[in-house]
Chains A and B, each alone.
Chain A
Amino acid sequence: MSGGWELDVHGTEAKLLRKIAGERITVTFNINNSIPPTFDEEPQEGQKADEQEPELTSTPNFVVEVTKDNPKQTLVLDCHYPEDEVEEESDIFSIREVSFQPTGESDWKDTNYTLSTDSLDWALYDHLMDFLADRGVDNTFADELVELSTALEHQEYIRFLEDLKSFVKCQ
């Protein structure tokens, strides 16, 4: 990933970390269930079977956490890739929910207010997108995250197949 992000992978969960100007920014995503379903189309005349294989990309939801030291607070932004590939005029990624969460705690606190962007004022939404872009979470980042996630998912898939093969073979 460009932008000086450190990468930490635990199983299917990956975390990117960056520190800038007194802020700690993490981006967390899980490769499980990150490949959207594709619907097979009717094969065209003359088209070979192997030409129909769609390119599978992993587009995981990702959570951006921005922690400031003074005061100690973490702003959490839940981001998604567009679900519908037909929606050609949608942003490369969107912010779905925003919330303040306790710093350092992994459990989501349901009692903290969560802002949904579904009916949010567009100007405020743009402010949030610019906020993320200023911290390196922009369209380039989102594109590179897809490449990273796809590579990680493929790696785990191969590992799973190998484990499955061993498991099935052993007596």
Chain B
Amino acid sequence: MSLVIRNLQKVIPLRRIPLRRRIEILQKILDVQQFDLGIICVSNRNIQLLNNTYRQKNVPTDVLSFPFHENLKAGELPQPNFQDEYNLGDVFLGVEYIYQQCQENGEDFYSILTVTAAHGLCHLLGYQHNTEAEWEQMYQKEKQILEELNGITGANLQPLTKNHF
């Protein structure tokens, strides 16, 4: 099924293929290649608007996930009844926010985009981090995905959830 990337912003120069390659590996690791997925790259202004609308937090952030299948149990894949339901949903990447963080921390932009996308994907699959138990479960999942990704690409990516609780 389709991985659709959209770039709605002009603040940060972005190349789609490096992002696509990394996300396709994540999809393969999570065994969700049969599902449609949207990755939408937005500016601080845009993600702040979404953050305020949907989470009542009037600040920019790095990632917001909008799952197609709500109330999924963490770790369980959706079981669609119809072809139209082979959709995980959309992950909005606050690329401007992420880029600024990378500049401050001296990190590679596409690496952090990958880590953030992995975090967003986990949210689409029912993982949360509202309680300590949820956080631990999500952290372990992200760690597992990224270890596998690191093994394939030779990178050394760490879970975003590390600092999110």
Q: Which residues of B contact A137 (CB under 8 A)?
A: none
Question: Is there contact, CB below 8 Å, between A122 and B13?
Answer: no
> Roughly how many angstroms separate A115 CA and B32 CA in the complex, as a whole number?
29
Partner of A139, one of B5, B9, B90: B9
Q: Does B133 contact A (CB under 8 A)?
A: no
The answer to whether B10 and A126 touch across the interface, beta carbons within 8 angstroms, is no
Interface code A114-147, partner B: CB below 8 Å = 1, 0 otherwise?
0000000011001101100100001110110000
| Interface assignment of B15: CB less than 8 Å from any CB of chain A | yes
Closest to B18 in A: A130
Determine the interface band of chain A, counting residues with CB < 8 A from chain B: 10 to 19
Contact flag A139-B15 (CB < 8 Å), given A122-B3, A122-B4, A123-B20: no
Within 8 A of A (CB), among B116-137: none
Asked if B152 is at the interface (CB within 8 A of a chain A CB), the reply is no
Is the pair A89, B40 in contact by a Cβ cutoff of 8 Å?
yes
Contact call A129/B16, Cβ cutoff below 8 A: yes
Bound complex: CA A58 to CA B7 (Å): 21
Contacts of A52 in B (CB 8 A): none
CA distance A130 to B4 in the complex (A): 14
Q: Are A91 and B7 in contact (CB under 8 A)?
A: yes
Taking CB atoms, residues of chain A closer than 8 Å to B58 are none
Are A126 and B13 in contact, with the CB atoms below 8 A? no
Q: Tell me the chain B residues, 1-42 only, with Cβ under 8 Å from chain A.
A: 2-10, 13-17, 20, 38, 40
Complex formed: what's the CA distance from A143 to B9 in Å?
10
Q: Is A92 an interface residue (CB 8 A)?
A: yes
Residue of A nearest to B15 (CB): A130
Contact check: which of A91, A123, A140 meets B6 at CB < 8 Å? A91
- Which of chain B's residues have a CB closer than 8 A to the CB of A33? none
- List, in ascending order, chain A residues with CB within 8 A of B38's CB: 89
Structural contact, B16 and A126, CB atoms closer than 8 A? yes
User: Known contacts being A133-B13, A133-B15, is A126 close to B20, with CB within 8 Å?
Assistant: yes
- Across the two chains, which residue of chain A brings its CB closest to B46? A88
Against B, the Cβ 8 Å flags (1 = close, 0 = not) of A98-122 are 0000000000000000000000001
User: What CA separation (Å) do A130 and B7 show in the bound complex?
Assistant: 11
Question: How far apart are the CA atoms of A140 and B12 in the complex, in Å?
Answer: 9
Please give me the residue from chain B that is nearest to A142 by CB atom. Answer: B10
Name the distance in Å between A130's Cβ and chain B's nearest Cβ.
Answer: 5
**Which B residues are CB-close (under 8 A) to A129?**
7, 16
Asked if A90 is at the interface (CB within 8 A of a chain B CB), the reply is yes
User: B17: which of A89, A91, A130 is its contact (CB, 8 Å)?
Assistant: A130
Q: Give chain A's interface residues, CB within 8 Å of chain B.
A: 88-92, 122-123, 126-127, 129-130, 133, 138-140, 142-143
Q: Could you list 27 A-B pairs, sorted by A, with CB under 8 Å?
A: A88-B8, A89-B6, A89-B8, A89-B38, A89-B40, A89-B90, A91-B6, A91-B8, A92-B7, A122-B3, A122-B4, A122-B5, A122-B20, A123-B3, A126-B5, A126-B16, A126-B17, A126-B20, A127-B17, A129-B7, A129-B16, A130-B15, A130-B17, A133-B13, A139-B9, A140-B10, A142-B10
